[in-house]
């Protein structure tokens, strides 16, 4: 436990930067990651977490890039992170942004990131939809990769 009573080191870069940024953490679980945030933010992050888990029940929950991540077929589906004024979902692929364009209009979306203000209610249905959409993308990628591997193996044995 750290000096501040939290279970893992979670440092924020000095104030004055244009964006809140997270330094490396040594969190080993999503529970530890969420515990590094203030209580009101923890409640929001727990709701985001449960929404993703419900939408993608077969996903493996891990810490990747020092933030919570969900994987299917060994591939990342969705990440989330808590910040000082917002929480984010990643990746906001072009397909995700296009598919949810109207629903995402009130939120800041750029560089593969969707930012949701902590001051607003969690858009559970939108996050659920994005998680399911990303799960379908991951399943399709896994299917295509598997087909390519079979084709390559067939070609190798035919020689």
pLDDT digits (tens, 9 = 90+) for 66-91: 999 999 988 899 999 999 999 999 99
How many structural domains is the chain composed of?
1
Q: Could you tell me if residue 77 is inside a domain?
A: yes
Q: Could you tell me the pLDDT band of residue 8, with boundaries at 50, 70 and 90? A: low
In a domain, 54, yes or no: yes
Query: Does residue 39 lie within any of the structural domains?
Result: yes
Q: Where are the alpha helices (DSSP H) in the chain?
A: 30-35, 39-55, 94-99, 101-104, 124-158
Q: What is the pLDDT of residues 86-118, one digit of tens each?
A: 999 999 999 999 999 999 999 999 999 999 999
In a 13 Å sphere around the CA of 77, the CA atoms on its Cβ side amount to 30
Q: Chain-wide mean pLDDT for the chain?
A: 84
Could you list the residue range(s) of the whole structural domain that residue 28 is in? 10-158
42: domain CATH number is 3.90.1150.200
Residue 4 belongs to a domain: no
Tell which residue, 40, 42, 136, 156, has the closest CA to residue 93. 136
Compute the distance between CA of residue 6 and CA of residue 28 in angstroms, rounded to an integer. 13
Whether 21 is in a domain gets the answer yes
């Amino acid at each position: 436990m750290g000096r501040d009573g939290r279970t893992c080191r979670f440092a924020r870069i000095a104030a004055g930067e244009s964006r809140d940024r997270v330094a490396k953490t040594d969190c080993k679980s999503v529970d530890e990651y969420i515990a590094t945030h203030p209580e009101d933010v923890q409640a929001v992050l727990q709701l985001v977490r449960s929404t993703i888990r419900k939408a993608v029940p077969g996903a493996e929950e891990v810490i990747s890039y020092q933030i919570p991540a969900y994987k299917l077929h060994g591939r990342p589906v969705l990440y989330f992170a808590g910040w000082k004024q917002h929480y984010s979902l990643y990746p906001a692929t072009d397909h995700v942004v296009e598919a949810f364009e109207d629903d995402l209009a009130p939120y800041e979306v750029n560089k593969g990131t969707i930012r949701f203000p902590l001051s607003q209610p969690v858009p559970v249905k939108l996050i659920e939809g994005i998680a399911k959409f990303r799960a379908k993308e991951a399943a399709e990628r896994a299917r295509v990769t598997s087909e390519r591997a079979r084709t390559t193996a067939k070609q190798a044995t035919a020689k």
